[in-house]
């Protein structure tokens, strides 16, 4: 393996690892205040249930007695891929098949460990973690598991798309 390819793998590993470790960081991390609209929506959700786009900190603040105009805690990061846990980014394989991969669990499939290999890309343009998020969140993992592939010797079921 050439030195350039090895350096590219290491750079890609760092970018993908940071994506899974840090998740989505909010754009605005400044002070937040509970608005009338957010308060009304939170009250509706607390009283009747349902779906909301409000962050959990806002719902908890209203549940704990916050009123419009009160300060809210800053938004924190959210996971890169919902329902994916226990992620580990590795370099996997040998020779020309050597690639960055992520190992993960998914809440919908308890006791199953998945792996996904990323194609080698320029780290500055690495969109693969986002592509993986879109695939999983639009049902690719569920479709794959309708007829699950056999796990490898380490018990990992590797994704069947994108290889």
Give per-10-residue mean pLDDT for the chain (163 aa): 76 89 77 94 92 88 96 86 93 89 95 92 68 91 94 94 63
Domain residue ranges in the chain: 3-23+81-158, 32-72
The pairing of strands 32-33 and 156-158 is unpaired
Check residue 28 and give its pLDDT.
67
Check residue 162 and give its pLDDT.
60
> Which pTM does this prediction carry?
0.71
CB contact at 8 A, 59 and 52: yes
Rounded distance, CA 14 to CA 157, Å? 23
Q: Where are the beta strands (DSSP E) in 6-95?
A: 32-33, 71-72, 84-92
CB contact at 8 A, 92 and 152: no
Radius of gyration of the chain (CA): 20
């Amino acid at each position: 393996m050439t030195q350039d390819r090895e350096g590219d793998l290491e750079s890609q590993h760092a970018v993908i690892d940071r994506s899974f470790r840090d998740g989505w960081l909010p754009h605005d991390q400044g002070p937040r205040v509970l608005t009338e609209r957010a308060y009304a929506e939170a009250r509706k959700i607390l009283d009747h249930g349902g779906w909301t786009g409000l962050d959990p900190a806002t719902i908890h603040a209203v549940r704990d007695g916050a009123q419009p105009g009160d300060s809210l805690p800053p938004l924190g990061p959210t996971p890169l891929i919902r329902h994916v846990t226990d992620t580990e980014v590795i370099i996997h394989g040998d020779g020309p098949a050597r690639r960055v991969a992520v190992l993960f669990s998914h809440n919908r499939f308890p006791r199953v460990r998945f792996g996904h290999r990323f194609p080698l890309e320029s780290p500055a343009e690495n969109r693969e973690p986002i592509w993986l998020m879109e695939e999983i969140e639009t049902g690719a993992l569920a479709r794959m598991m309708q007829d699950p592939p056999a796990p490898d010797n380490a018990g990992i079921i590797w994704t069947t798309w994108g290889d």
